[in-house]
Amino acid sequence: MEGCKRGNRRAYERLYELHAGRLKSIAFHLVGSRADAEDAVQEMFLKVYRAMDGFEGQSSLATWMCRILINCCYDVLRKKGRAAEQPLRAEAATESKVPMKLALERALQRLNERQRIVFLLFEVEGLRHSEIAAVLQIAEGTSRSWLFEAKRELKRSLMEKGA
Amino acid sequence: MKFECGDLDRALSMPELMPEAREHFKQCAACRREYRLWTEISTAAKELHEEWESPELWPRIQRSIDAEPKPQPAWWKEWKTWAIAAVALIGVSAAVWRTWQHMAPTSPQGSTAVSNAADRDFLTEQALAEVERNESAYRQSIDKLSQLAQPKLENPASAVSVNYREKLVMIDSAIAETRANLDQNRFNMRLQTELANLYREKQETLKELLTRDQKN
């Protein structure tokens, strides 16, 4: 982080190596395509670079970057004139060979935004509730509650479809 | 409590109810299926993580960062704030010093005005240096006056001259004491003012001694 604060390019590259995988995946689930996800990640890094000097480390660098990324994803969706709830990614659906995975991807699109994002961060990307709380700036209990609502909706949706 | 199908959702959010729920699953295929689905959701969710190679992404990010103006470091922003604060302080200190310089040596009433100004207990280091420079110059000029008066003081021609000598000894002693106190706290404006008043007193006394002797 100190290297980044000094504007050291190598430090930013290290940051990219450490976090890009997870950040791209989160962005992909929010914007629906790999190209848009990469645009969002690029924009996020630019914003991190501009704001690094003001980052005081109250949250971890990873959760701070994740918070910025989510906002970048919403910007990408706005620019593209798409609603966040719009069905996502034909590419992943066609690649999938696993019925449960495919059914889950489709069911996920029917969740509301807050349920979907908490589910993605917890179940898909493996963030802890404390981290999700920091990213979304909500209470840890709220994160748990939204996750439960999300899973209950997914269960209902999957049962209706006979998964 | 008898666990029923309607309790399943509650059990899923409260792990302490799970042992009873598991007992219930043994007899209820529907709940068993629901619970299996619940755990499968979490398992399948892990597979939704997307990984792909993006060899062009980092170079793109690097180019966009390179195109950005270099962000100003924190010390630079802080320096600007401190510079503004320092200029303001120097201005205030200079005003205080001017008041002290004009009031202290000439008018006895000036001490009140000076002590009002001295309510600001502390001077900045820079203003203090200026005060000390002026004080030093003032002291040197008084020392010259003292040298002129020295022969009269060493051989007082009258009882009045003896009184002047004793008064000057007292003033010198007070000056020495005030200066010793100032060495402990150079920023104390009240002591600086007191010292200025003592020098003024010494100057007035020496002038009186010299002019009296000239008249005589």
pLDDT < 50 positions in chain B = 119, 121
Compute the nearest-CA separation of B7 from chain A (Å).
13
CB B48 to CB A29 under 8 A? yes
State both tokens at B40: 């499968």
Number of domains chain A contains: 2
Taking Cα atoms as reference points, which of A46, A48, A75, A78 lies closest to residue A63? A48
pTM of this structure = 0.57
Q: What is the pLDDT of residue A123?
A: 93
**Is there a domain that residue B86 lies in?**
yes
Q: What is the pLDDT of residue B13?
A: 79
Give me the phi and psi of A70, to 5 degrees please. -60, -40
Residue position matching structure tokens 């010299």: B210
CB B37 to CB A34 under 8 A? no
Mean pLDDT of all residues in chain A?
A: 84
Domain-ending residue, one of A87, A117, A148: A87
Q: Are residues B146 and B197 in the same domain?
A: yes
Domain-ending residue, one of A61, A87, A113: A87
User: Which structural domain range is residue A159 located in?
Assistant: 96-163
Q: Are residues A55 and A114 in the same domain?
A: no
Helix, strand or coil, per DSSP, at residue B71: coil
Taking Cα atoms as reference points, which of A110, A99, A124, A96 lies closest to residue A152? A110
Percentages helix, strand, coil for chain B (3-state, rounded to 5) are: 80, 0, 20
Q: What is the pLDDT of residue B108?
A: 52
Domain-ending residue, one of A87, A116, A141: A87
B5 CB within 8 Å of a chain A CB: no
Q: Are residues A136 and A80 in the same domain?
A: no
Q: Are residues B105 and B189 in the same domain?
A: yes
Q: What is the pLDDT of residue A102?
A: 87
User: Which structural domain range is residue B29 located in?
Assistant: 5-46
- HSE toward the beta carbon, residue B18, CA cutoff 13 A: 8
Q: Are residues B40 and B124 in the same domain?
A: no
Q: Where residue A43 sits, what CATH number does that domain have?
A: 1.10.1740.10
Helix, strand or coil, per DSSP, at residue B164: helix
- Find all residues with CB under 8 Å of A39, minimum gap 6, and list them: A76
Chain A residues with CB under 8 Å of B54 CB are: 20, 24, 34, 38
Q: Are residues A142 and A73 in the same domain?
A: no
**Is there a domain that residue B82 lies in?**
yes
- Find all residues with CB under 8 Å of A9, minimum gap 6, and list them: B62, B65, B66
State both tokens at B101: 């310089």
Q: Are residues A70 and A150 in the same domain?
A: no
ipTM of the complex, rounded to two decimals: 0.81
**Is there a domain that residue B63 lies in?**
no
For residue B4, the surrounding DSSP H or E stretch is none
Q: Are residues A63 and A105 in the same domain?
A: no
Other C-beta atoms lying within 10 Å of the C-beta of residue A108 = 24
Q: Are residues A106 and A159 in the same domain?
A: yes
**Is there a domain that residue B54 lies in?**
no
CA distance A40 to A115: 21
Q: Are residues A33 and A104 in the same domain?
A: no
Q: What is the pLDDT of residues A62-100, one digit of tens each?
A: 999 999 999 999 999 998 875 544 544 444 444 444 588
Q: Are residues A62 and A106 in the same domain?
A: no
Compute the nearest-CA separation of B4 from chain A (Å).
17
SS (H, E, C) chain A: CHHHHCCCHHHHHHHHHHHHHHHHHHHHHHHCCHHHHHHHHHHHHHHHHHHHHHCCCCCCHHHHHHHHHHHHHHHHHHHCCCCCCCCCCHHHHHHCCCHHHHHHHHHHCCCCHHHHHHHHHHHHCCCCHHHHHHHHCCCHHHHHHHHHHHHHHHHHHHHHCCC
Q: Are residues A8 and A67 in the same domain?
A: yes
DSSP summary character for residue B109: T
CB A52 to CB B58 under 8 A? no
Q: What is the pLDDT of residue B124?
A: 67
Q: What is the pLDDT of residue A97?
A: 47
Q: What is the pLDDT of residues A25-46, one digit of tens each?
A: 999 999 989 999 999 999 999 9
Taking Cα atoms as reference points, which of A102, A100, A82, A83 lies closest to residue A91? A102
Q: Are residues A5 and A81 in the same domain?
A: yes
Choose among B9, B57, B62: nearest Cβ to A41.
B57
Q: Are residues A132 and A54 in the same domain?
A: no
Q: Are residues B91 and B197 in the same domain?
A: yes
Q: What is the pLDDT of residue B38?
A: 87
Q: What is the pLDDT of residues A84-142, one digit of tens each?
A: 445 444 444 444 445 888 889 889 989 999 999 999 999 999 999 999 999 999 999 99
Number of domains chain B contains: 2
Compute the nearest-CA separation of B1 from chain A (Å).
23
